[in-house]
Amino acid sequence: MSKKIILAIDQGTTGTTALILDQALQVLGKDNVEFAQVFPKPGWVEHRAQDIWQSIHQAVDNCLNKASVKASEIAAIGITNQRETTCLFRRDGSPLHNFIVWQCRRTAEICEDLKRRGLEETIKHQTGLVLDPYFSATKLMWLFEHAKDAKKMAEQGDALFGTVNTWLLYQLTGQMVHATDATNASRTLMMDLSTCQWDDKLLSFFGVPKNCLPAIYGNSHIYGHTKGLSFLPDGIPIAGMAGDQQAALFGQACFEAGEAKATYGTGCFILLNTGKKIIRSQNGLLTSVAIKLGEEVQYCLEGSAFIAGAAVQWLKDGLGMIKKSSEIEALAAQVSDSGDVAFVPALSGLGAPYWQPHAKGLLCGISRDTTKAHIARAVLEGIALQNRDMMEVMQQEGGAVRHIKVDGGACANNLLMQFQADVLQIPCMRPHILETTALGAAALAGLSVGIFSNKAAFRDLAIAKTVFSPTMAQEVLQKHLNKWRKAIARVQVN
């Protein structure tokens, strides 16, 4: 292949990142464009389709300019995305409603009703997921009820469902290709884990007509080609696609069972590759498709914390304690510990392993001598301690983990990473390239078009640059754990 340039589009919760990478997966250009979040009611979160599309257009344009690369030189496009966010759109690509974001809690009562109907265990067994507003199916049920004529249009095939990757693929291909990948499909509550296909029984539970669902393919696959775009030429293959957390797992080269990664973004997501084995958690973890290459499927256990970097954003935007998110490390470093202050980041309910959608965040232990620095440090500690709860269960069910690979924006925070290693009691390994989500999407696209012959061709690119090893004394660790357990017990809803 003469062309060796890959465009990776990472469509995230608060913005879109575009990267141009060469055949060695070195970043030649990068741009991030943020877009507005929509909060119609407390606990509700939406995105406007036009805001996402504009962010993609602008990020790709800016990235090409920064890389000094012509769009005609792009050999393939890889897509990665915020996962469970739910889109329902017409055949012309226009939305029937704002997209309902994975963080949105509006379907909590729908989930409770499905539980009362006795469907929870069947759904959990077939999908590996729990009945929680986090996932797509109950968001789609809500749209069928509240978006005008949505159910009727879906039954007729005039309204199409997808997660953001599906809608993006549809737009990039000139409304020609309605498809998704197995990792995103595994997060909808509608796909059977063992077959990687939509399941008729599950669809009947949620009242979803099959006509509106996209085709499911593997992660390294030529889904279609660009068509009719103002910012990219026709004919570029969209050749790799994966949900953001699975893309990061692949980008971190966690190819074997027992390898794990943690991504610190808006939330924090820990994935443990379990190989060909489907481990159905009994303690609040999720089971999903880790990667599907051809007919080969690997699975993973996942712990999902809804709030990580978003807690820092709350300190910045909600409380005005810092002007930039990056300032939190220096502020927190002004004190040696958080004192009696504890923070539970349940700002959008509690995810794994608790699954308490109605839980509220907690900041406690404040006294007259509490400073902004104590609060900042407590926020970082709360992020790390909720991850410890997930890892504790993960190792019980999936086996011992010798180290964990970290990525995402917040892992640039050395104080957070050291505290994370201390409370996990295993090394945290940070790679040279932090954009491992986009890296994974690019690698999958490169595999599909022949830039890479196999996975081993880019394993060395994920070698850790910095290793944080645990140094905390056991008595200090125990003090932190005792404070955390008391705090989190106060936010759980019985």
pTM, whole model, 2 decimals? 0.86
Residues 166-190 as b/e (b if ≥16 CB within 10 A, e otherwise) read bbbbbbbbebebbbbbbbbbbbbbb
Q: Whole-angstrom Cα distance, residue 427 to residue 467?
A: 6
25: containing domain: 5-245
Q: Which pair of structure tokens corresponds to residue 470?
A: 């645990």
In a domain? residue 171? yes
Q: What whole-number distance in Å separates Cα of residue 334 and Cα of residue 369? A: 14
Torsion, Cα of 37, 40, 45, 48 (10° steps): -50
Residue 86, in any domain of the structure = yes
- Residue 217 falls inside a structural domain: yes
Please name which of 317, 308, 378 lies closest in space to residue 348, comparing C-alpha atoms: 308
DSSP characters over 85-150: -EEEEETTS-BSSPEEPTT--TTHHHHHHHHHTT-HHHHHHHHS--S-TTSHHHHHHHHHHHSTTH
Residue 242: partners with Cβ closer than 8 Å, 6 or more residues away = 80, 181, 183, 184, 219, 250, 291, 440, 441, 444
Of 220, 183, 246, 240, which Cα lies nearest the Cα of 436?
246
Give the CA dihedral 63, 66, 68, 70, nearest 10 degrees: 20
Helix, strand or coil, per DSSP, at residue 287: strand
Name the amino acid, one letter, at 304: S
Residue 371 lies inside a defined structural domain of this protein: no
199 to 140, 175, 188, 254: CA distances (angstroms)? 16, 25, 11, 29
Residue 416 near residue 329 (C-beta atoms within 8 A): yes
Which portions of the chain are predicted below pLDDT 50? none
Q: At what angle do helices 372-398 and 474-491 cross, to 10 degrees?
A: 90
What are the DSSP calls for 355-397, one per residue? -BTT---EEE---TT--HHHHHHHHHHHHHHHHHHHHHHHHHH
Residue with token string 């220096």: 330
Domain presence at residue 54: yes
- Asked whether residue 126 is domain-assigned, the answer is yes
Domains in the chain: how many in total? 1
Cα separation of 80 and 101, whole Å?
A: 16
Order of strands across the sheet that contains 99-100: 46-47, 99-100, 86-90, 159-163
Residue 358 located in a structural domain: no
Q: Which pLDDT score, from 0 to 100, does residue 353 have?
A: 85
Cβ within 8 Å of residue 117, ≥6 positions away: none
Q: How far apart are CA 331 and CA 466, in angstroms?
A: 22
- CA–CA separation, 447 vs 428, rounded Å? 28
**Residue 69, in any domain of the structure:** yes
Euclidean distance between CA atoms 489 and 494, whole angstroms: 10
d(CA 423, CA 151): 48
Query: For position 2, what pLDDT does the model report?
Result: 59
Q: What is the pLDDT of residues 360-386, one digit of tens each?
A: 899 999 999 999 999 999 999 999 999
d(CA 342, CA 339): 8
What is residue 308's predicted lDDT score, i.e. its pLDDT? 86
Q: Taking a C-beta distance cutoff of 8 angstroms, is the pair 206, 189 a contact? A: yes
Q: How far apart are the first and last CA of the chain?
A: 59
Q: What is the CATH number of the domain that holds 196?
A: 3.30.420.40
Pairing of strands 74-81, 5-11: parallel
Tell me the C-alpha distance between 420 and 261, whole Å: 13
Query: How many other CB atoms sit within 10 Å of the CB of residue 200?
Result: 10
* 261: its two tokens: 């990664």
